[in-house]
Amino acid sequence: MESSQKNRKRKKGLAFKLIVSIFASIAVVFTFLFIYNYQLSRRIVEKNLKLNAENMVKNGVSQIEKILGSVQKVPDNYSKMIESTQFSKKAMMEILQQIIETNPEIFSAALAYEPYLLDPDEKFFMAYCYRSDHGCKLSFPDGGQYDYFTMDWYQIPRELNRPLWSEPFYDEGAGNIIKSTYSVPLYRKLSGEREFIGILRADVSLAWLQDFVNSIQVYETGYGFLISQTGTMVTHPIRDLIMNETIFSIAEEQGSKQLREIGRNMVRGETSFAEIEYHNVKTGLLSWIAYAPIELNGWSIGIVFPVNEFMADINRLFTRVLILGLSGMLFILLIIILISRTITSPLRSLNKASRKIAGGNFEVELPEIKTRDELKDLRDSFDYMQNQLAEYIVNLKETTSAREKIESELRIAREIQMGMIPHIFPPFPNLSQIDLYAMLKPAKEVGGDLYDFFLLNGNYLCFTIGDVSGKGVPASLFMAVTRTLLRSVASKLGSPASFVDSLNESLSYNNESSMFVTTFVGILNLQTGEIHYTNAGHNPPVIIRNNGNVEMLEISGLIPVGLFRDFKYTESSVNLNKGDKLFLYTDGVTEAEDTGKNLFSEERLMEILKNSAGEDPAGLIHQVMDNITLHVGDNVQSDDITMMSIIFYGED
Amino acid sequence: MKKRSLLIALTTGMMLFLTNGCNHKSSQESTGTIDQSVNPESDTTKLRKISFLPYWVANAQFAGYYVAKEKGIYQKYGLDVEIIPFDPFHTSIKLMQKRKADFAAIWLLNAIQAKAEGTNIVNIAQFSTRSSLMLVTKKSSGINTLQDMNNKRAGIWNGYEMQPKSLFKKYDLNVEIVPIGSTNNLFLNDGVEITNASWFDEYHSIINAGYDPDELNTFFFADYGLNFLEDGIYCLSEVRMKEPELCTAFVKATAEGWVRAFHNPHEALDLVIEYARRSNLPVNRVHQKWMLDRYRDLYYSEGHTTTYLNEKDYLFAAGVLKDNGLIDEIPVFKEFYIPYDSNISK
């Protein structure tokens, strides 16, 4: 159950990775494209909007200025006329009447003079002419006592010395219409000095202006508005705001610093078509506001653009794109899931099959794969692997059984080989003249070392040690032959050289495999301690004197046995005194290797022998063996190790 | 915006106090403090009909009166108050002759002048304790101190020159006074460098014309030792003598109206705007809110309004009027100011 859960997890993992990586990449790309496209489109719309705003505002300004300009011309021209001549009061009144009668856009006009200017007895002179149902009416406000000197229309152009449009005002008498007054200061030249004499004013209804600005419609909720120089709303679609509010009071009401800033820019006569966020008073929605000044009277026209409406089309389009995109992504998701299924499901089957194969079932059926792709290749590889494995296992079984057979035979061969060598110590318990100890520690494989000893005539000890070239079964067979031949040639008394000659002759005969054996054959006279020996290419034995001196026998210069049939071996002799020992060994001793491939070495052997001079043969050999074991350590013993030691006690 | 005709309105308006109301006996007999003298449960048929004349159009500067009337405070004190709509063309002799107002709000200087001219009015409560008038300059004109005003031009409401003139004289400044009408447009058009304004009204109009407070310098007359007090409640001395409990009820109810207005500005502004609309006046809530807030600063501290007129303030204002030749004699303080809550020995 646990493993099935694991399996499921793994299955999910691959599909999950596929879906996450592919789907996420697609989603990222799609999102990026969507956002980029959306923003680009918005920017294009915004750019067009700005262009549109600029045109609308400029058009509005030029329309208004055209009309204001044509109104201005009338008082401007008349003021020149008045200044150039000395008119009587009556003539002035006629001028006023003429202005009203010939200029339908001017609702009323007035002429007002500085105190006592026309008449030393009259502080106020103001003639006022207005249009009525019965034609032009002329009047003197407040019965000629109207104090106009501190009125804006009089005072401000007087103080500023320039014509001026007044702030808008309600004329209740004329049906609550909004008016503005254009005032032109009048001057006369008096002894070279330019002297202010009064004001000529013309009052214009702003109904046309309101109609015009109100006619500005931008989409559904956009609108135009007009503010005076002090920010007062002159026209606005919300009638309650007109004359009641300034753009600044609306800004304060809304808590909008932005709108206040817009208002300040507007009253300063600045122009902007740029994006300015502002909450539409009518709809409360975020809008743009474009504005430009009307230079002639210092007012400013603003147009509110309902951004949301402009963007509505784009938003609609992009909502659709988004829906399509999401559907597309859903589709892609399905495809990815399908593809991942077609990949993972055969993989799962292969996985199951491979587990069965691993369990030893080579007959398991691999899943069929119909597609011709990598998966099919993988399946074929699995198939091939399955067949190869099956075949290999069959071979392996056969090989293993064969090897087991050989190994068991080798084991038997070994046992036989070891059986040939004397291995009961002490070998001659009744012989007091000598003691002898020998050891053959075979390497893993059967090897070619040998030792042997036997008595000749009861008075001589023949002993030998040898090492057959090579290893394995051939070496061991050669060793067996050598030992048997030696025993047979040495059965009658003779010299070691004659033994070796015979041995050489026999071994060299038909020795096609060119095997050879190094051997040392010695005959010890048990009474005298004299040793006659022939060393056929073997490591020279060591004599350990009873005084502790160790000496290696001289190298004979004779070749190993089995090489040349006609070779004549010579012999040498050496005397053992009482207590002297002879130590023989094969190269398995001196060439024993540690893990670092360092040899045990002759020097080391000599040193150990010297240190162990007091030991009996068995003690000596065990001493050397312990040292070799220590040296070799964990390394595998590569060659047979053979040692023999004889101590000569002599006759009592 | 509107101070110019104020003077005219007041000099004439103060004489319109009528005695006709005084001939009616108060429905309440008691002469104690109002809280006891007034029966809050008195039904409308028994309410005492009286009228009140503001010195200006419906604005938040009279919010306390509107709130007291519309929220039943006057009624609670047994009064049925008619607030006479201000009309510059009809606050004249005609109205006066009809004698239709029992109480009126008047600025101190105007009241002293009227009293000096023989009108028999008394101050029964002085709400204003600090002058709201100021001079305003634009920082851009470089006038940052009083001394900077030397040799500059100041737009001063026609008829309201006394306070600025006294200031310029006191600080030995040569300032050309340009009489202006009811707007600040000459100042806004840079025709003058200095203009006068009331804190609660014209100053905010300048801000509402696009100048930020940090672009303006203000100089309160009160800060330069020219603290001419403003609103007080006046009635004919006859009324004060014969019907003290009526005066107490009106003042107390009005004070309560102010406290309520300061605590419920939204409600108060709704009423002010309704009154203004009824009179077809341009009205702007933000501006009215500013005005109410400033009246709270001017009238209200530590939970109550004050109604006390300091003799020193009185003598100072009257003294300046006398020095300027606007009155011949300073009216006796005790005859001018008979607070609504004082005992009348006579």
Say what the pTM is: 0.64
What are the backbone angles phi and psi of residue A224, rounded to the nearest 5°? -110, 155
Residues of B with CB below 8 A from A246's CB?
208-210, 284
Residues of B with CB below 8 A from A170's CB?
282
pLDDT for position A445 = 67
Which of A123, A240, A243, A244 best probes binding to B when mutated, by most B CB atoms within 10 angstroms?
A244
Binning chain B into helix, strand and coil, the percentages to the nearest 5 are 45, 20, 35
Do B125 and B340 form a contact (C-beta atoms < 8 A)? yes
pLDDT digits 0-9 by tens, B150-162: 999 999 988 788 8
Please name the residue of chain B whose CA is at the shortest distance from the CA of residue A243.
B282
Answer whether B208 sits within 8 Å of A248, measured CB to CB: yes
Percent of chain B with pLDDT over 70: 83
The answer, for B180 touching chain A at a CB cutoff of 8 Å, is yes
Which amino acid belongs to residue A132?
S
- In this complex, the residue of B181, B185, B284 whose CB is nearest that of residue A244 is B284
What are the backbone angles phi and psi of residue A517, rounded to the nearest 5°? -140, 135
The answer, for B185 touching chain A at a CB cutoff of 8 Å, is yes
Do A265 and A273 form a contact (C-beta atoms < 8 A)? no
A110: buried, middle or exposed (CB in 10 Å: 19+, 13-18, 0-12)? Answer: buried
CA distance B248 to B261: 20
Rounded to the nearest angstrom, the gap between the alpha carbon of residue A402 and the centroid of all alpha carbons in its chain is 56
Residues of B with CB below 8 A from A263's CB?
210
Answer whether A246 sits within 8 Å of B185, measured CB to CB: no
Answer whether B284 sits within 8 Å of A155, measured CB to CB: no
- Averaged pLDDT, B229-234: 92
pLDDT for position A275 = 58
Helix/strand/coil for A606: helix
Which amino acid belongs to residue A591?
E
- In this complex, the residue of B189, B210, B284 whose CB is nearest that of residue A264 is B210
The DSSP 8-state label assigned to residue A412 in this structure reads H
pLDDT for position B5 = 39
Q: What DSSP letter does each residue of B231-289 carry, written as one string?
A: EEEEEEHHHHHH-HHHHHHHHHHHHHHHHHHHH-HHHHHHHHHHHHHHTT----HHHHH
Q: What DSSP letter does each residue of A437-478 carry, written as one string?
A: EEEEE--SS---EEEEEEEETTTEEEEEEEEESS-HHHHHHH
What are the backbone angles phi and psi of residue B333, rounded to the nearest 5°? -55, -45
Question: What distances in angstroms separate CA A547 from CA A257, A434, A497, B209, one per listed residue?
Answer: 122, 17, 30, 135
Answer whether A152 sits within 8 Å of B183, measured CB to CB: yes
pLDDT for position A32 = 92
* B62 Cβ contact list (under 8 Å, min separation 6): B54, B56, B83, B105, B272
CATH match of A424-648 with 3.60.40.10 = yes
pLDDT for position B44 = 53
A373: buried, middle or exposed (CB in 10 Å: 19+, 13-18, 0-12)? Answer: exposed
The answer, for A246 touching chain B at a CB cutoff of 8 Å, is yes
Tokens of A396: 């392996």
Please name the residue of chain B whose CA is at the shortest distance from the CA of residue A268.
B210
Please name the residue of chain B whose CA is at the shortest distance from the CA of residue A168.
B185
Cα angle at B152 between B148 and B154, to 5 degrees? 110
Question: Residue A7 is inside which H or E element, if any?
Answer: helix A2-18
Residues of B with CB below 8 A from A253's CB?
285-286
Q: Is the dihedral of CA A508, A511, A514, A516 positive or negative?
A: negative
Helix/strand/coil for A635: coil
Average pLDDT, chain B: 82
* E strand spans, A161-277: 164-165, 169-171, 177-190, 193-205, 217-218, 222-227, 233-235
Do A293 and A318 form a contact (C-beta atoms < 8 A)? no
Residues of A with CB below 8 A from B208's CB?
230-231, 246, 248-249, 252
The answer, for A248 touching chain B at a CB cutoff of 8 Å, is yes
Which of B202, B280, B284 best probes binding to A when mutated, by most A CB atoms within 10 angstroms?
B284
Residues of A with CB below 8 A from B181's CB?
150-152, 155
The answer, for B281 touching chain A at a CB cutoff of 8 Å, is no
Do A57 and A291 form a contact (C-beta atoms < 8 A)? yes
The answer, for B210 touching chain A at a CB cutoff of 8 Å, is yes
Q: What DSSP letter does each residue of B151-170 carry, written as one string?
A: T-EEEEETT--HHHHHHHHH
Answer whether B210 sits within 8 Å of A263, measured CB to CB: yes
Query: Is the pLDDT confidence value at B253 over 90?
Result: yes
* Banded model confidence at residue B43, pLDDT cuts 50, 70, 90: low
- In this complex, the residue of B185, B283, B286 whose CB is nearest that of residue A156 is B185
pLDDT for position B3 = 42
Residues of A with CB below 8 A from B185's CB?
152, 156, 167, 230
pLDDT for position A357 = 83
- In this complex, the residue of A147, A167, A231 whose CB is nearest that of residue B210 is A231
Query: Is the pLDDT confidence value at B1 over 80?
Result: no
* Banded model confidence at residue B37, pLDDT cuts 50, 70, 90: very low
Query: Is the pLDDT confidence value at B91 over 70?
Result: no
Q: Which of B203, B184, B197, B15 has its CA nearest to residue B110?
A: B15
Packing angle, helices A257-267 and A247-254, rounded to 10: 170
Residue A165 C-beta-side C-alpha neighbours within 13 Å? 21
Answer whether B208 sits within 8 Å of A231, measured CB to CB: yes
- In this complex, the residue of B208, B280, B285 whose CB is nearest that of residue A246 is B208
Q: Is the dihedral of CA A261, A263, A267, A270 positive or negative?
A: positive
CA distance B155 to B188: 11
pLDDT digits 0-9 by tens, B106-146: 889 988 988 888 888 899 999 998 999 999 999 999 999 99
Answer whether B282 sits within 8 Å of A244, measured CB to CB: yes
* B183 Cβ contact list (under 8 Å, min separation 6): A152, A167, B1
Answer whether B178 sits within 8 Å of A159, measured CB to CB: yes
Which positions of chain A have pLDDT values less than 50? 1-3, 9-11
Query: Is the pLDDT confidence value at B93 over 60?
Result: no
Residues of B with CB below 8 A from A252's CB?
208, 286
The answer, for B8 touching chain A at a CB cutoff of 8 Å, is no
* A538 Cβ contact list (under 8 Å, min separation 6): A465, A466, A467, A518, A519, A520, A560, A586
- In this complex, the residue of B189, B209, B283 whose CB is nearest that of residue A246 is B209
pLDDT for position A173 = 65
pLDDT digits 0-9 by tens, B260-309: 999 999 999 999 999 988 887 888 899 999 999 999 998 887 777 888 89
The DSSP 8-state label assigned to residue B28 in this structure reads -
The answer, for B186 touching chain A at a CB cutoff of 8 Å, is yes
Q: Domain-by-domain residue ranges, chain A?
A: 368-420, 424-648
Query: Is the pLDDT confidence value at B35 over 70?
Result: no
* Domains, chain B: 4-130+229-336 (3.40.190.10), 133-224 (3.40.190.10)
Percent of chain B with pLDDT over 90: 54
CB neighbourhood size of A136 (10 A)? 17
CA distance B336 to B327: 14
